[in-house]
Amino acid sequence: MIYMDNNATSRIDDDVLAEMEPYLRDEYGNPSAVYAFGSRVRPRLDEARQRVAMLIGAQPQEVIFTSCGTESDNTAIQSAVDVMPSRRHIITSRVEHLAVLEPCRRLRAAGYRVTEIDVDGEGRLDIEQYSEALDEDTALVSFVWANNETGVIFPITKLAEMAKSVGALFHTDAVQAVGKVPMELGNSSVDMLSLSGHKLHGPKGIGALYVRRETPYSPFIAGGHQERNRRAGTENTAAIVGLGKACELAAANLSVENERVRRLRDRMQEALVGRIPANRVNGGLNLRLPNTLSIAFKHAEEDALLGALSDEGICASSGSACNSETLDSSHVMLAMGVPAEYLNGVLRLSLSRFTTDDEVDEVVEKLPRIVEQVRSSSILGQELVSNSRS
Ligand code: PLP
């Protein structure tokens, strides 16, 4: 199998699994217990909190463990409106993950004003429109740090400073960016940040929300005193330990692996762009995560592409995994103005530190034939294939 869908989820690192195992089997004590069998687990939770904080340039007490990136996003958004009751405006973008868009749309239905800022053809945020939208009524600004479909990175530090100028809270969904983009939150105006374990070679079902020490906060999940009254529920000890290890490894690998992965991605992109007629790369070339390639093929049906790739043992995606069940075009591609004839032929190939040169070679060898085959099954596609041959 060739796994090129790391933005959907990633393989758990063996070292992460090894650190988790004792907490799944023998060390099952509740960390809140008075007896040593439970309370001896607590230092491992503290260590994990420290490792997460290190990766994002924060203080350990600013890290709250949650069940996933989606919970972190929902918590940040609900908390912001709860602690700013006199403000009724939320700003986000048109290219957010549904974990941000849906809670914002719920708030709109509840009477909040929600502004979704546009992006340009390269996926860049319209900063002027954002600046004009900010006002004294804005409770929260929430922008994705790196887009899950295109890998396009927003200038989060600058966007957070702009939010501060009107006294709004600033949240970023950094689920795709953590471990790939260097971060120093202590020196920024970011109030809250969401991250998720399974996107950085940690386990699923664990995430974290960074909340700056001085940022007002209201818990989303109530019912217990865990996480210093900030997130109720018995701690998922093994997953927390795993997330901590995954963050430690991500920090150690960040610069070297980013360079290697970027070279692999760029080589793959160059070869595919050169060998397959009528393609377009989605997202500004210099603005992207090092691991992500979103490439669209004119008159090629993406479901057929994904099926044929799967038959060859290649796992890829058409964009957001959360959209693959629906027939709608991706809201991200629509926001970027991707032309209609490319809209249904989007392929996202996302690499990781486990991706090898041989795997890239195989994709580069197989994909041109697969695109040609898929195109041959439609009239417009057939025309394109014969025109490009002649
Ligand atoms: N935000 C972004 C940008 C994502 O890519 C994802 C996962 O696809 C999420 C949030 C949701 O994270 P989780 O799967 O941990 O709930």
CA of 75 to the centre of ligand 1 (A): 14
Asked if residue 390 has pLDDT above 80, the reply is no
The pLDDT score that the predictor gives to residue 319 is 60
Q: What does the pLDDT average to over 191-218? A: 98
Residue nearest (by alpha carbon) to ligand 1 atom 12: 69
Ligand 1 atom with minimal separation from the 322 CA:
8
The pLDDT score that the predictor gives to residue 349 is 98
CA of 23 to the centre of ligand 1 (A): 25
Asked if residue 326 has pLDDT above 80, the reply is no
Give the closest residue to 56 by CA, choosing from 206, 190, 200, 179.
179
Q: What does the pLDDT average to over 352-365? A: 98
CA of 99 to the centre of ligand 1 (A): 7
Contact present, 244 and 46 (Cβ < 8 Å): no
Q: What does the pLDDT average to over 234-248? A: 98
3-class secondary-structure state, position 65: strand
Task: Kindly state if the Cβ of 99 falls inside 6 Å of ligand 1.
Answer: yes
Q: Which helix (H) or strand (E) holds 332?
A: helix 331-335
Q: What does the pLDDT average to over 308-315? A: 98
Q: What does the pLDDT average to over 230-253? A: 98
Task: Kindly state if the Cβ of 176 falls inside 6 Å of ligand 1.
Answer: yes
pLDDT band at 329 (very low <50, low <70, confident <90, very high): confident
Ligand 1 atom with minimal separation from the 96 CA:
3
3-class secondary-structure state, position 51: helix
Mean per-residue pLDDT of the chain: 96
Does the annotation mark 68 as catalytic? no
Angle at CA of residue 250, ends 249 and 251, nearest 5°:
90
Strand segments (E) across the chain:
2-3, 63-66, 89-93, 113-117, 138-144, 169-173, 192-196, 207-211, 279-281, 292-297, 314-315, 346-350
When mean pLDDT is compared across 54-68, 197-211, 260-274, 326-340, the lowest value belongs to: 326-340
What percentage of the chain carries pLDDT values higher than 90? Answer: 93
pLDDT (tens digit, 9 = 90+) per residue, 56-83?
Answer: 999 999 999 999 999 999 999 999 999 9
pLDDT band at 389 (very low <50, low <70, confident <90, very high): confident
pLDDT (tens digit, 9 = 90+) per residue, 118-161?
Answer: 999 999 999 999 999 999 999 999 999 999 999 999 999 999 99
Asked if residue 112 has pLDDT above 80, the reply is yes
- pTM metric for this prediction: 0.96
The pLDDT score that the predictor gives to residue 388 is 85
pLDDT band at 327 (very low <50, low <70, confident <90, very high): low
**Tokens, residue 73:** 């996003």
Q: What does the pLDDT average to over 171-193? A: 98
Task: Kindly state if the Cβ of 97 falls inside 6 Å of ligand 1.
Answer: yes
Asked if residue 387 has pLDDT above 70, the reply is yes
CA of 109 to the centre of ligand 1 (A): 23
The pLDDT score that the predictor gives to residue 37 is 97
CA of 199 to the centre of ligand 1 (A): 8
Alpha-carbon dihedral sign for residues 217, 220, 225, 227: negative
Q: Of the residues 70, 153, 209, which should be mutated to test ligand 1's pocket, given the most ligand atoms within 8 Å of the CB?
A: 70
Residue nearest (by alpha carbon) to ligand 1 atom 7: 8
Q: Of the residues 175, 198, 206, 209, which should be mutated to test ligand 1's pocket, given the most ligand atoms within 8 Å of the CB?
A: 175
Asked if residue 362 has pLDDT above 60, the reply is yes
Task: Kindly state if the Cβ of 144 falls inside 6 Å of ligand 1.
Answer: yes
Ligand 1 atom with minimal separation from the 146 CA:
3
Better-predicted residue by pLDDT, 389 or 262: 262
The pLDDT score that the predictor gives to residue 378 is 87
